[in-house]
Amino acid sequence: MPHLILFTKPDCRLCEQVEAHLLLLQGQLNFQWERRDITSDPALYDRYRHAIPVVWINGREALRADVAPIDQSALRAALSHA
C-alpha cells in the first residue's frame, strides 16, 4: 500500500485543497497518508518554504506545487505509479 506524506504549513490554502483531494481519493484508492508541518523542522522549512504543498510517495518526492498544480488527476497518476 502506498504511503503518502503531504508537506504543509499553517494557513496554506493550496495545502488545504490538496488535503481535500486526498480525502476524496482515499475513498477510491488504497493508500495511507499523513500531514507534516514544515514549520516544525528547520531543514524542511528551508527546503520547501517556497514549494508547498509537496507530496512524497513511498519516501520519494513525487509532486511540488512550485512545479505544477497538484490536483486530483496529478495525485491519482502519482499514486498509480507507486
pLDDT (0 to 100) of residue 51: 96
Compute the average pLDDT of residues 28-56. 96
Contact 65, 52 (CB under 8 A): yes
Q: Is 90 exceeded by the pLDDT of residue 81? A: no
| pLDDT 10s digits, 6-32 | 999 999 999 999 999 999 999 899 999
Domain covering 3-80: architecture = 3-Layer(aba) Sandwich (3.40)
With 0-12 CB in 10 A as exposed, 13-18 as middle and 19+ as buried, what is 44?
A: middle
Domain layout of the chain by residue ranges = 3-80
Q: Is 90 exceeded by the pLDDT of residue 82? A: no
Please give the model's pTM, rounded to 2 decimal places: 0.93
Compute the average pLDDT of residues 45-60. 97
